[in-house]
Structures are given as C-alpha cells and as structure tokens.
Amino acid sequence: MTRRALLSVSDKTGLLEFAQQLLKLDFELVSTGGTKKALEEGGLTVTGVDEVTGFPEMLDGRVKTLHPKIHGGLLAKRDKQEHMQQLHDAGITPIDLVVVNLYPFKQTILDPTTTQAQAIEQIDIGGPSMLRAAAKNFADVLPVVDPADYPAVTDFLQKNINNQTFRKQLAAKVFRHTAAYDALIANYLTEEEFPEKLTLTFEKQQSLRYGENSHQAAAFYRKPIPAKLSLITKQLHGKELSFNNLKDANAALTMVSEFDQPAVVAMKHMNPCGVGIADEIETAWDEAYESDPMSIFGGIVAVNRQVNAATAQKMHEIFLEIVIAPSFSDEALEILSKKKNIRLLQADLSHRDQAERYEAMTVSGGLLVQETDRQVEEPADFTVVTKTQPTKKQLKALQFGQHVVKFVKSNAVVVTTDSKTLGVGMGQPNRIDSTKIAIQKAMPKDGYEDAILASDAFFPMDDCVKYAAQHNIKAIIQPGGSIRDKDSIAMADKYGIAMVTTGVRHFRH
C-alpha cells in the first residue's frame, strides 16, 4: 500500500538518502520549492504540492501548503470513519509522514547586516503549521523535524511496528522545536523591558556528570543567540567542566570583566577569595595569590590579559581547577598543559561592555528576572560624611573595594588595599560577623596598615565601625541610608576614620 510523505526542509542534510529509503518503503514523495528541486536533481520522482492542491504558489511563496488538501490529509483521524469519509468525498489523500524543518530565522538574525524586513521574510508560517498538525495527530502521522532522526525513523518504518512511544517522542520534539522558534522570533521583535509573557528558549550544550552534588542530575544549556560576553568559551585543555565549575567560572568571568587595568580574580564557591590589580598581569597574580594563599587552592582564576610564561609558572605551582583568559602565550599553554586536569578556557573579553542585560533565577513555581548589576561607582560619586577626609591612596583603595564587594554574597564586607583583597567576609546573617571575618583574615597580611573596609549595604548599627576602628581600619565605604547613619558617622569621627557613602547598595544573594 502506497503511503504519502510530505518533505519541505531548509536543512537538506541527509535528505536525499532518507528520501531514497522512503521510496523503497513505497512512499509517494510530495514536496515543493527547493526541496522538490533537490530531490529531482537526485533522480527521484516527486509530486509537487501544487499538483496535490490544484492551486499554484502565491504571494512570493508565502502561500503554498496552507490548503485543506494538505492539512486535511494531516489532521484526519484514521480510526474515525467520519473523518475518512470526508477525505474521500473531498478527494484528499492522507499524509502519513511529514519531514519539515523551518526557515533559518536564527541564522538570518545572527548576521549583523540583516534588516528587520529581511528577518521577517524568514519567519516560517507553513512549516510550523504542517509540523504542529502532524504532531497533534502523531498517532497516525509521523512528524520529523530533525535530520539526526532520519536513521531512527527509517528503522521504525522498516520494522513496521505500532510504537506509540516513538511517535510521541517525535511529536514532543516538534512542539519543542516550534516553541523555541516562536520564542526566538518573539524575543527579536520584543522591545518592552518586562513583557507580559516571558518566552525563553535555550539549546542543550552538554550533559553534565552531575549537579552541585553527585546525586543531582544536571545539564548545561546555552542561549540560541550567543551573548557577547559569554561563558560559552573555547576550552583549550583539561577535563570536562562540572556544574559547580561553570557557576564559579561564570562568576569569575563576570567580575574580571569589570576591571580596566590588568586584573586577576580567584573564585571559590562563587565568592572572590583573592583579587589583585597591577600594571602587568604577573604582579596582579601575585596580589591575588597573596590575598588568600589557602583559599585559592583548588579555585577558579580569571584574568583579563594574556597569560604569559612567568604567570603560568606561578599558576603551575599550585592546584587550580580552571584558568580563564583572553589568550595564553605558547609557552604559558605548554607550562599549564602539563597538568592533566586543569581546565584552560579562552574567553573573549573585548565585549565586556556588552554583558548580559538581564539575569534570571528560579524559585519554587516561578522565575525571577532582574537587570544585572553593572553599576560602577567612581570617586566622583562618593560623599565624604566624616570630618576626616580620605587620602588620594585611600580613595583608590575605596574604589577597588567597592568593585570587589558587589561580587561577594551578602552580608558582604571586604578589606582591601588599593591593589588587592586582604580579607573577605560573606554570607553571614548579620553584618558584624562578616566584618569580623574579613578583618581577622586581613590582619596578619602585608599591606594591612593601608587597609580600607567596604560594605555592600549600610550599617544598621555602629558596631561594625567600632570594630573596624579598633583594628586599625582607616577608611570605610558604604551606601549609607540607615536611620542610624548618624551613629556610624559619629563612631567614625570618634576614631578619626574617613567614611564615604555611595548611595548605591550591592546586595548579592
């Protein structure tokens, strides 16, 4: 018994071979446009869609398959006598297999020269309609959207078994495909900041060995349109990245991208454990390493300059999970590659000013979406609220501390010089505990005599200022805005501390 297959694809990978198999299985091939031409050039006999519908293509090809003789053949339920009788009366032949993939909208908008008019012409109408019709009627019609499925479909047809599970899987894939396609179009056309419907779509990058813990399954998905500043990097060396690696690496990449001068950021559990800046990258590494030699062990390091041989040699002396950089010199790559398991990632930091505008996080039953915190405060934004004025060196240190503290989990307090972190206190349920942790970690280190303290939010009481003063902190930066600001300012004046406020809070939960 001859069955009918409708083929209309933009991606012609494997098409001819698949169509040849369909002919061997007694399918009649129906097609249109470029697909029909490709099949005929391959020596196959093909019936044109216009021969089936009795209606020519029109409107520059916008209308060709939107016809009852196509959609009736797709949607008729074979086990419903009334449906089959209606097909017979209308002279409609059932369609048993639909092979469709859609106009290349994604590839079109990836070209920066594409106009909106050109993009709109690549919005497929007939393709999704046929796919959705076939997928809705998957019990009787086999919907195929992915060339990678051709071998499995061929095997299924050759075995001639009634496997509804396989049919359902193909149907689900169709609806995922068309949903993603529509989401891409919706996002391209949407200009509202927070529209009434949020249509997100991602493509699977890879399966992960496990999630945060070994008993949690996980996978990594990427946006279909690559971000300018992205963790989708080129891995030059090392074993597969884990779930936690990716989270830490993303945090490190985001943070290091904010610095103009050579910078090194070491991350542990999505918190910076060492940050250093200098005129050249080797010294920046020294500063970051000296910030916390213990915590950097097993950490993730991101740098915003090429890794040279001298810096690579120092990195090689300790255990690091990941090093992210714009590039590695040949000598550096040779040195670091001697370690089998270290991952070396090459990330393009030239687009740091085009970082993701929004970030999302899941909650039970929903999704939270917000603008990413790209706010950067300069000394001109500072307000000195104490009698003591900060020195020029302290202002530089306060600016550096403000840069760092916004990447630390709240409650966040950091102690820094003008070039490196000395102590980081994070994630405590109250600010005084974070202050104590940061200062206690900072006190034994060289440079502590020039230390400043930065807080991600205001001081609800003066206890943090008092503790800082008693431990030789000479300058503090904080947002201000507490109803008890006067108490903190008075405590700073009592001890001769310079305090500046920014008016900007940087909570990070």
Cα 113 to Cα 300: distance, rounded to the nearest angstrom: 37
H-assigned helices in 25-65:
33-41, 49-53
Decide if 295 contacts 287 (C-beta within 8 A).
no
Cα 418 to Cα 411: distance, rounded to the nearest angstrom: 22
Query: Which strand (E) or helix (H) includes residue 316?
Result: helix 309-316
DSSP string, 146-193: -GGGHHHHHHHHHHT---HHHHHHHHHHHHHHHHHHHHHHHHHH---S
- Spatial CA neighbour of 409 closest among 433, 388, 391: 433
SS3 55: coil
Decide if 475 contacts 454 (C-beta within 8 A).
no
- Token output for 26: 């007694």
- Spatial CA neighbour of 77 closest among 86, 69, 66: 86
106 catalytic residue (yes or no): no
- Identify each DSSP E strand in 285-395 by its residue range: 299-303, 320-325, 343-346, 358-363, 366-371, 383-384
- Token output for 8: 């209309």
Q: Is the dihedral of CA 42, 64, 52, 15 positive or negative?
A: positive
Decide if 34 contacts 61 (C-beta within 8 A).
no
Q: Dihedral (C-alpha) 400, 405, 406, 408: value to the nearest 10 degrees? A: 140
Spot the catalytic one: 12, 136, 173, 316.
Answer: 136
Kind of pairing between the strands at 343-346 and 234-237: antiparallel
Cα 409 to Cα 215: distance, rounded to the nearest angstrom: 25
- Token output for 18: 């698949």
Spot the catalytic one: 269, 339, 396, 471.
Answer: 269
136 catalytic residue (yes or no): yes
Cα 269 to Cα 264: distance, rounded to the nearest angstrom: 17
Q: List residues with catalytic annotation.
A: 136, 269
